[in-house]
Amino acid sequence: MGRSAWGRIAICVVIALPAVVFRLTGFAPNPVVDLLVFGGAVVAASFLLAWAAEAAQKDISGALAIAILALIAVLPEYAVDLYYAFRSGYDPSYEQFAAANMTGSNRLLLGFGWPLVVVISLLVARRYVRAGTLPRSATRVLQLEQSSRLDIGFLALLAVVAFLIPLMGSIPLWFGFVLLAAFVAYLWRASQAPDDGDDEEMVGMAGNIASMPQRARRWTIVALFVVAAAVILSSAEPFAEALVASGSALGIDSYFLVQWLAPLATEAPEFIVAALFALRGMGGAAIGTLIASKVNQWSLLVGSLPIAHVLGGGTSGGLPLDGRQVEEFVLTASQTVLGVAIIIALRFHRWSAIALVALFAVQFVVTDTSGRWVLSGVHVVAALVVLWINRRDIVPTLRAPFRRAVVAGA
């Protein structure tokens, strides 16, 4: 690994170091400074985790690796959200923040992350079209990998089940365990599914780490995991508290900061890694990683919220939702249904990407109750239209999670 790669790791460590000092000494000058310091540490540690998790795939295989890497990759986002859920167990005023962070990160991933990867992939495809190695349609439509059928099938089922949450007005404890069981089933099925026959090329920092001699590589990966996990676990609570306090200090709605600033910080490294894949002409693999992240959010993250709430002292009934949170869950679930409808045929058209971004942007303009319900309705109607167009792919996709193997061309 070259000096530039070590330099990037050093930069992340330097950015995270002030947060460690603040945490150990208890120094907290004001909420805004705390937000910058601990937020910067979370972002820096997230990069270290993303690099290490991707590079680790060179040495680890099988279901255990999938489980470990899945848990590690989502640690930054989940650490913040689960803190809010835990705190809400003994402080009801924090119940809204647990749901806010989850719905924000969920919609950010699909409304911004997916289109970003698609647009980059289609722009990169122009080079290959000019070289004659790809058809002209490659600049208009991103073809997903066959292995994504399994992920889309799980996401479709989770999207439908997600509508039960607003209907119940809470996330019951039993429902959390059901979602966790779905996550375990997803990991097991993913470990059993055959790949598409091509080894994915590691890019950027992960590629640099993977190119190291085996012994040095493994020690480097372990060190990155330990350092990043320590920084994230020590920074999650003060970062989450600083988000809430900064809203009051800056005159900004704390709910807005928790819903959008926290997910932006924790999701940024994942977006950048996916964008690097897309820039290398690996758009199918790039969007595949973000689809898998969406499955993780609806299963592992949402399923963990009521458990954290109960562990924090909340009632065994689970995490309650008020009217605003019910609307947010409906909006998030309806957006997911539209996303599934768009990719169910294993094709992602550029106009679909543009539509997702446009609808994602509308929610920042339409902020009242009626606006959220109308936007949710638009999502559902658009999804029904697209599903009708792609109706031949509905049954194969819904069957994918229950089949012994993902059959090519299914």
Residue 160 to residue 338: CA distance in whole angstroms: 11
Q: How many CA atoms lie within 13 A of 395 on its CB side?
A: 1
Question: How far, CA to CA in Å, does 102 sit from each of 283, 287, 293?
Answer: 26, 20, 13
Question: How far, CA to CA in Å, does 161 sit from each of 208, 347, 396?
Answer: 41, 24, 19
Residue 52 to residue 63: CA distance in whole angstroms: 18
70 found inside a domain: yes
408 found inside a domain: no
179 found inside a domain: yes
Confidence at residue 199, expressed as pLDDT on a 0 to 100 scale: 55
Residue 149 to residue 198: CA distance in whole angstroms: 16
410 found inside a domain: no
> In this structure, are residues 48 and 273 in contact, taking their beta carbons and an 8 Å threshold?
no
* pLDDT string in tens for the chain (410-residue length): 677 888 889 999 999 999 999 999 888 888 889 999 999 998 898 888 878 877 877 776 544 445 555 566 677 888 889 999 999 999 998 988 988 989 999 999 999 999 999 999 999 988 888 887 778 888 889 999 888 899 999 999 999 999 999 999 999 999 999 999 999 999 888 877 665 555 556 667 878 888 888 888 889 888 998 898 889 888 888 998 898 888 878 888 888 889 998 888 878 777 877 887 888 888 888 888 889 889 999 999 999 999 999 999 988 788 999 889 999 999 999 999 999 999 999 999 999 999 999 999 999 988 889 999 999 999 999 999 999 999 999 999 999 888 765 444 44
Pair of tokens at residue 18:
């002030």
Burial class (CB in 10 A: 0-12, 13-18, 19+), 43: buried
Question: How far, CA to CA in Å, does 34 sit from each of 26, 138, 139, 232, 320?
Answer: 11, 46, 44, 14, 29
Find the angle CA(283)-CA(381)-CA(390) to the nearest 5 degrees: 50
Q: Domain holding 276: CATH number?
A: 1.20.1420.30
Confidence at residue 354, expressed as pLDDT on a 0 to 100 scale: 95
Domain that holds residue 292: 3-402
Angle between helices 262-279 and 95-108 in degrees, nearest 10: 20
Q: What single letter denotes the amino acid at residue 41? A: A
Q: DSSP assignment of 176-206, as one string?
A: HHHHHHHHHHHHHHHHHS---S-PPPP-HHH
Residue 168 to residue 175: CA distance in whole angstroms: 10
> In this structure, are residues 227 and 13 in contact, taking their beta carbons and an 8 Å threshold?
yes
Residue 376 to residue 327: CA distance in whole angstroms: 9
Pair of tokens at residue 111:
């409304």
97 found inside a domain: yes
> In this structure, are residues 220 and 56 in contact, taking their beta carbons and an 8 Å threshold?
no
Confidence at residue 367, expressed as pLDDT on a 0 to 100 scale: 84
State the DSSP H helix or E strand holding residue 393, giving kind and residue range, or none if neither: none
**Which neighbouring-strand residues pair with 142?**
348
Q: Cβ contacts of residue 391 below 8 Å, gap of 6+? A: none
**Which neighbouring-strand residues pair with 348?**
142
- Cα dihedral 231, 237, 240, 242 sign: negative
> In this structure, are residues 73 and 294 in contact, taking their beta carbons and an 8 Å threshold?
no
Number of domains into which the chain is organized? 1
Residue 79 to residue 395: CA distance in whole angstroms: 36
Residue 327 to residue 331: CA distance in whole angstroms: 6
> In this structure, are residues 228 and 49 in contact, taking their beta carbons and an 8 Å threshold?
yes
Pair of tokens at residue 272:
């950048």
Dump strand ranges (E) for 293-375.
Answer: 319-320, 347-349
Structure pTM? 0.88
- Indicate left, alpha or beta for 209 from its phi (over 0: left) and psi (-120 to 50: alpha): alpha
